[in-house]
Amino acid sequence: MTTTAETTTPSQLKGQFGQVLLATLASTIGFWAWMSIAPLQKTYATELGLSEGQISLMLATPVLVGALGRVVVGALTDRFGGRKMFALVLLGSAPAVLLVALAGVIKSFPLLIGAGFYLGVAGTIFAVGIPFSSAWYEPSRRGFANGVFGMGMVGTAVSAFFTPRLALAIGFFPTHLLIAAAMVGMAALVWFFLRDSPAWTPSHQPLVPKVMGALKLAVTWQMSFLYAIVFGGFVAFSTYLPKYLTTVYPAEVDPVGAGTRTAVFAVAAVIARPIGGILADRFGPKVVALVSLAGVSILAYVVGSQPPEGIVTGATFLAMAAFMGLGMGAVFAWIGPSTPKDKVGAVSGVVAAAGGLGGYFPPLVMGATYHADTNSYSLGLWLLLIAATLALVLGGMLRDARA
């Protein structure tokens, strides 16, 4: 989103925090829809008789589309503004929730995959909010703004906690009707109450050249790799953790308990994300990103050892989520000062897409590397350790955005 925040007076940006909060709420609803399949994976697996590979594909499909679609949506936000794009994404993806419900009712796996593909549109909402929020704040506070907006990923926790409980309380199909209704209602709120920053000016550069221009920047590729680890790891665990816990610890964790644990995991990352942005504004994004990646690397080693279910396991996943949240805030605080103003939306879209892709492949890898004889996912978890370590090395080689 093209901005002129440097020349905009504080009075012109009045109400900035309220606008970012409303955008955060819109993102929360979008994330709830985007992640609505994962909390009910046990139901789909049982009712449709799915294999490990089919479960992994079912969980990964919305993530893939949500990731790739962010490139386009980020660039379109530069042109049409956050208000229109928030409403379009919410309204446009609401029917996908109903198709997912229909697939579950008629027990059709092909329809479920097709509906999951469509459902990925809801996940593109993140690429709308980053440039929208950045335009409401001066450069020195964009880490804070993006951190606050990033809290919208609490929709993952909302989905993990409430979706299985709603399905038990009011039924499978009514639960999806409720989610779709929330999306339509949120779209109406956005349309009538959200407004683009007076510091924002639309970019009329054609979509393809704009995206290609972003891809030519070194910062795009650098931040994409770092974000693929921290946000991709978050998405992967948020998607696959219910499956992981009920498979590895079947006697200790039931589907509802797994949903609760996943919700707590997501909340920890959500709380840490704005903290990461604030710390990045103060100490520089590089320092915060390196601390984040070091923490993820160490904790990936612990998880890869597959400790017995209990306090250690719970604390490890909680700490890993917090470190990922810090890294998410730091990476997007790194983008703004390092990117030409007319390419912030396009670069944000590409980086957000990389984060989503980082969450697409791990569930497939986990399903492919699962060892039934030992009931272990350790190989897939060791790969996370390797990736996080490589990101740590790369981050150490980069120049701080404030340098």
Of the pLDDT bands very low, low, confident and very high (cuts 50, 70, 90), residue 115 is very high
Q: d(Cα 142, Cα 100) in Å, to the nearest integer?
A: 36
pLDDT(278) > 60: yes
How many C-beta atoms surround the C-beta of residue 106 within 10 A?
9
Torsion from C-alpha of 380, 385, 391, 394, nearest 10 degrees: -130
Asked whether residue 6 carries a pLDDT value surpassing 70, the answer given is: no
What percent of the chain stands above pLDDT 90? 35
Output the pTM of the full model.
Answer: 0.76
163-210 per-position pLDDT tens digit: 999 999 999 999 999 999 999 999 999 999 999 988 888 878 787 887
Q: What is the pLDDT of residues 56-66, one digit of tens each?
A: 889 889 988 88
Residue 213 reports pLDDT greater than 60? yes
Q: What are residue 2's DSSP bridge partners?
A: 201
